[in-house]
């Protein structure tokens, strides 16, 4: 039995299948809750997978190696965002000016707010550099954290938390602010909560998801520019 379990652990299809099944279960629970913010699939699935890894004493490198196809698929999925973007290109062009202003304000707010909080609690320069890119996609955040002298692995965790939390509170906060324009809602969610927020925006509206994708992409570029200037100074 031990030999069989060891073999299963090192079989790519085992952990890949387990991950897909857990996420599918989490997504069904999310649908049954009518996509309640506290029932986000990532929020539900992540603890279950962590418990499975701990219970089976599976090292994370083994899990990461056996599920490497999932991060790889992020590339084609990101390219696929061009389809709704092209479909709604007229709307995007009409809002180019406001989007640029909102992008600048959002990027600066994301960087300054988190670094100010961490600094106020006595965070070191390494931690400040780690959390500064918290609102961009994971690969960009890890690269920026390393460039600034931060901790890339910790940056990835911070990004995940920011994305899940942003996706959870986006709808209630925007509703409370009485913002009904899906272009605004989507762009704000994409800037604040990157890919996870974008996925949430697509669940609500294609227009919102399209503008969330734009916000995610542009914020990655803007944050990289601002933090590179910070590093030089």
Q: What pLDDT digit, counting tens, does each position of 79-135 carry? A: 777 777 777 778 778 888 888 899 999 999 999 999 999 999 998 989 999 999 998
Number of structural domains found in the chain: 2
Tell me if 113 is assigned to some domain.
yes
- Check whether 4 has a pLDDT greater than 70: no
- Structural domain ending residue among the three candidates 67, 92, 119: 67
* Residues 127/118, Cβ–Cβ less than 8 Å: yes
Q: How many whole angstroms separate alpha carbon 134 and alpha carbon 119?
A: 15
Give percent of the chain above pLDDT 90.
24
Q: How many whole angstroms separate alpha carbon 82 and alpha carbon 41?
A: 24
Q: How many whole angstroms separate alpha carbon 218 and alpha carbon 136?
A: 9
pLDDT one-digit tens code per residue, 125-161 = 899 999 999 988 888 888 889 888 899 888 988 998 8
Sequence-distant (6+) residues with CB within 8 A of 76 are none
Residue among 167, 225, 229, 177 at smallest CA distance from 201: 167
> Are residues 141 and 43 located together in one domain of the fold?
no
Domain extent at residue 20:
2-67
> Are residues 49 and 126 located together in one domain of the fold?
no
Q: What is the pLDDT of residue 7?
A: 59
- Check whether 9 has a pLDDT greater than 70: no
- Structural domain ending residue among the three candidates 15, 46, 67: 67
Q: What is the pLDDT of residue 11?
A: 67
Tell me if 138 is assigned to some domain.
yes
> Are residues 117 and 208 located together in one domain of the fold?
yes
Instruction: State the average pLDDT for the chain.
Output: 85
């Amino acid at each position: 039995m031990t030999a069989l379990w060891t073999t299963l652990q090192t079989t790519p299809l085992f952990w890949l299948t387990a991950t897909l099944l857990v996420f599918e279960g989490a997504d069904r629970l999310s649908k049954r809750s009518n996509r309640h913010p506290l029932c986000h699939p990532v929020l539900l699935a992540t603890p279950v997978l962590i418990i499975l890894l701990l219970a089976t004493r599976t090292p994370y490198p083994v899990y990461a190696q056996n599920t490497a196809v999932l991060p790889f698929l992020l590339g084609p999925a990101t390219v696929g965002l061009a389809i709704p973007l092209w479909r709604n290109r007229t709307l995007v062009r009409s809002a180019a000016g406001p989007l640029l202003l909102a992008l600048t304000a959002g990027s600066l707010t994301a960087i300054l707010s988190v670094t100010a909080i961490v600094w106020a609690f006595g965070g070191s320069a390494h931690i400040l550099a780690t959390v500064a890119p918290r609102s961009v996609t994971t690969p960009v955040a890890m690269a920026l954290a390393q460039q600034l002298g931060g901790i890339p692995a910790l940056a990835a965790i911070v990004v995940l938390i920011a994305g899940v939390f942003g996706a959870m509170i986006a709808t209630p906060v925007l509703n409370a602010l009485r913002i009904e324009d899906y272009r605004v809602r989507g762009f704000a969610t994409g800037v604040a909560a990157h890919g996870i927020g974008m996925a949430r925006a697509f669940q609500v509206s294609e227009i919102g998801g399209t503008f969330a994708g734009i916000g995610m992409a542009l914020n990655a570029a803007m944050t990289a520019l601002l933090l590179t200037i910070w590093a030089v100074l």
